[in-house]
């Protein structure tokens, strides 16, 4: 059994850069299921933080709290310096427009080509952009995800890895201030998974934006994580680099790395 004190020793990872996200003592229950039990998390402007934890431990709930899709029972959620638990609908919608998401399902529109998929939200949110500026943004983002010139293809013509890149491009074209990834490499073969992970690591510098990544995929964790937080029993039970956590004395933590 790990004593409370031992847990605290692990929670020492330092935030890199100005704090962009800070979760303080977050609690969330669904009926009798007490999922988050005092979760704390900090993400700085210059880091990709990976949250690991067993299936069903509350990782997706955590991410949903950050964009206001799930309301916590108690605790504070500071995003870009403001406590979003106090936000009304309109402010939440505005907040979400500064955050990019990539989830397991790519959710591309099958009947639209890549150009239309990429411009769909941009056209609605940025009416001030000329069509030339939109095309430039599209070309830039396709270049940045390694798929220049494919705008006239349909989603059905793309491989799984390419679809993932386009889903990523669709988030990036809005120039988010924070990226959230929920199991981004699930369902991809190991080589494609590695390429997507390398791209995610690279985008942090290219777009100067931090991210929170939820992943089971050890290769993805290793490539993308500046820091890893282990969500165990509803709290951040460990916080540190790959090297630190894989050598953790806590078997609940080091077992993730085997
Ligand atoms: N909207 C909901 N209503 C009821 N229970 C939920 C809801 N969302 C999540 N849960 C429960 O919360 C727990 C954590 O879920 P989730 O965050 O999706 O886990 P994971 O760590 O695998 O992403 C699970 O037991 C799940 O069943
Ligand atoms: Mg999940």
Average pLDDT over residues 216-244: 95
In a 3-state reduction of DSSP, which class is residue 62?
Answer: helix
103 domain-assigned? no
Question: For residue range 241-252, what is the model confidence (pLDDT) as tens digits?
Answer: 999 999 999 999
- pLDDT the model gives residue 17: 75
2 band by pLDDT with thresholds 50, 70 and 90: very low
Pair 188, 168 in one domain = no
Same domain, 143 and 215: no
Q: What percent of the chain has pLDDT over 70?
A: 95
SS3 content of the chain, % helix, strand, coil (to 5): 40, 25, 35
Residues 162 and 185 in one domain: no
How buried is 42 (Cβ within 10 angstroms: 0-12 exposed, 13-18 middle, 19+ buried)? buried
Burial class (CB in 10 A: 0-12, 13-18, 19+), 113: middle
Distance between Cα 202 and ligand 1 center (Å):
30
**Do residue 62 and residue 33 come from a single domain?**
yes
Q: What percent of the chain has pLDDT over 90?
A: 86
Pocket test for ligand 1, best of 61, 73, 215 (most atoms within 8 A of CB): 61
Say if residue 171 is in the same domain as residue 185: no
Residues 167, 224, single domain; the answer is no
Q: Any idea which ligand is nearest the CA of 62?
A: 1
Determine, yes or no, domain membership for 218.
yes
Clarify whether residues 15 and 86 are in a common domain.
yes
Q: How confident is the model at residue 4 (pLDDT cuts 50, 70, 90)?
A: very low
Nearest CA to ligand 1 atom 10: 30
Pocket of ligand 1, beta carbon within 6 A: 30, 33, 35, 53, 55-61
What CATH number is associated with residue 68? Answer: 3.40.50.300
How far apart (Å, rounded) are the C-alpha atoms in residues 3 and 167?
A: 43
Dist. CA 154–CA 138, nearest whole Å = 15
Domain contains 85: yes
Task: Choose one of 60, 71, 213, 237 to mutate for the ligand 1 pocket test, by most ligand atoms within 8 angstroms of C-beta.
Answer: 60
Question: 29 has which bridge partners?
Answer: 34
Select from 39, 56, 232 the residue to mutate for testing ligand 1; criterion: most ligand atoms less than 8 Å from CB: 56
| Distance in angstroms (rounded) separating the CA atoms of residues 171 and 173 | 6
Q: State pTM to two decimals.
A: 0.91
- Residues 137, 24, single domain; the answer is no
Residues 158 and 209 in one domain: no
pLDDT at 1: 41
- Which range is least confidently modeled, 6-15, 89-98, 144-153, 228-237? 6-15
Handedness of CA 221, 224, 225, 229 (dihedral sign): negative
For residue 256, the CA-to-ligand 2 centroid distance in Å is 16
Q: Are residues 186 and 224 in the same domain?
A: yes
- For residue 51, the enclosing domain spans 4-98+176-257
Ligand nearest 54 Cα, by number?
Answer: 1
Across the chain, how many H-helices and E-strands are there?
10, 10
Q: Which of 139, 157, 175 is the last residue of a domain?
A: 175
Alpha-carbon 106 to chain mean position: 14
- Of 175, 197, 229, the last residue of a domain is 175
Question: Comparing 4 with 86, which gets the higher pLDDT?
Answer: 86
Atom of ligand 1 nearest to the CA of 28: 12
From 160, 175, 190, give the residue that closes a domain. Answer: 175
pLDDT of 151 over the 50 cut: yes
By the 8 A CB rule, do 211 and 48 touch? yes
Kindly state the average pLDDT of the residues 65-77.
95
How many domains, the chain? 2
| Residue burial 226-246, b: 16+ Cβ < 10 Å; e: rest | bbbbbbbebbbbbbbebebbb
């Amino acid at each position: 059994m790990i004593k409370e004190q031992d847990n605290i020793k692990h929670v020492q990872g330092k935030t890199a850069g100005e704090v962009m996200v800070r979760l303080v003592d977050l609690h969330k229950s669904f009926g009798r299921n007490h999922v988050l039990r005092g979760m704390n998390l900090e993400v700085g402007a210059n880091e990709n933080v990976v949250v690991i934890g067993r299936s069903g431990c509350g990782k997706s709930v955590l991410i949903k709290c950050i964009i206001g899709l799930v309301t916590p029972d108690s605790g504070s959620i500071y995003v870009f310096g403001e406590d979003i638990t106090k936000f009304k609908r309109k402010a939440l919608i505005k907040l979400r427009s500064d955050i990019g998401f990539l989830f397991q399902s790519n959710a591309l529109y099958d009947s639209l080509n890549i150009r239309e998929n990429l411009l769909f939200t941009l056209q609605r949110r940025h009416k001030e952009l000329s069509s030339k500026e939109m095309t430039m943004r599209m070309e830039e983002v396709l270049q940045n995800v390694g798929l220049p010139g494919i705008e006239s293809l349909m989603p059905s013509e793309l491989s799984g890895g390419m679809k993932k890149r386009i889903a990523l491009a669709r988030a990036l074209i809005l120039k988010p201030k924070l990226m959230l990834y929920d199991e981004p490499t699930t369902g991809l073969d190991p080589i494609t998974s590695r390429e997507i992970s390398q791209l995610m690591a690279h985008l942090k510098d290219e777009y100067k934006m931090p991210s929170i990544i939820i992943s089971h995929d050890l290769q993805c964790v290793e490539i993308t994580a500046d820091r890893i937080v282990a969500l165990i029993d509803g709290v951040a039970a460990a916080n540190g680099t790959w090297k630190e956590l894989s050598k953790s004395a806590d078997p609940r933590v080091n077992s993730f790395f085997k």
